[in-house]
Structure 1
């Protein structure tokens, strides 16, 4: 990434910016701010924002442990708890404003997710691709999981098997 934009841990005071980024990037697939607040409260290790020093966030990343092969969390709904002993990692969301794209921020976010998933002993990272993001995720090694589109047409579940020992 150029400039001083960098990933840092998400804070409660970032949540309004996170919701605004989601609204701008995801359109019909945006979620209420309460969903992001819950994920931050339940698993802060998986919540990050991309920002320049003393500036508002221009991107965010949220992930948490989740059982591999299980139904992924529903859009816009709380999960209540991060499952204990989960053998997978759910990449809930990666969203970047247009100004943050093309600077390596997405690849740096994926590296963070993989490192955290390995630290948790996960055997796979799962996500739901929306709005054509499957093209990006395929370049990162993710593959479509056969099945019905989780949020309707144009969405798909994707997965990347990982070696937790690396």
Structure 2
């Protein structure tokens, strides 16, 4: 990754900044701050913030998950599943000024490292807003799973590790 931007662990004090980036980047697919706060509380090891030149430029939220259906969009989970069988990349969002810097690829590397460290053999995600092309470049492939709450144009994807 070029420049001075670096990924660091997210803290509870970062939730509002992550939610503001989501609002700016995701449009109809944004989620309430409570969603990010809960994901961070449930699995802090999977939550990161991108900072550069004193400003927040992006975030990454990942966590263990079970089964083919992804967590519902903008819904609290309550707890992580007891029998998680995959690692879920819940969200990666970058402000426009952080795109093209290598930050997204570095975030994928972080997610892969976290998934492997936790003993998972796959990462799943739901691509929205046409992001499936980016995810294919990151070695994700389409998975035949409906992600109902994410809309008809969403694409469920998986990357085997």
Q: Normalising by structure 1, what TM-score?
A: 0.92
Choose 104-113 or 76-85, whichever is displaced more: 76-85
The C-alpha deviation readout for 1:131-165, integer Å capped at 9, x for no partner, is 00000000011111124353222111101111xxx
Give the Cα separation in 2 of the matches to 1:133 and 1:48: 20
Cα offset, 1:94, TM superposition? 0.3
Give the Cα separation in 1 of the matches to 2:135 and 2:83: 26
Corresponding residue for 1:160? 159
The C-alpha deviation readout for 1:41-90, integer Å capped at 9, x for no partner, is 1100000000026x2311000000112x4311000001111123412100
> Is 1:95 aligned to 2:93, yes or no?
yes
CA RMSD of aligned residues (A): 1.2
Q: 1:130 aligns with which of 115, 128, 131?
A: 128
CA contact (8 A) 1:143 1:158 kept: yes
Give the Cα separation in 1 of the matches to 2:44 and 2:146: 31
Give the Cα separation in 1 of the matches to 2:78 and 2:84: 15
CA contact (8 A) 1:6 1:50 kept: yes
Corresponding residue for 2:84? 86
Aligned length: 160
Cα offset, 1:3, TM superposition? 2.4
> Is 1:23 aligned to 2:16, yes or no?
no
CA contact (8 A) 2:19 2:33 kept: yes
Give the Cα separation in 2 of the matches to 1:87 and 1:149: 18
Give the Cα separation in 2 of the matches to 1:140 and 1:118: 16
Consecutive unaligned residues in structure 2, runs of 5 or more: none
Corresponding residue for 2:115? 117
Consecutive unaligned residues in structure 1, runs of 5 or more: none
CA contact (8 A) 1:15 1:36 kept: yes
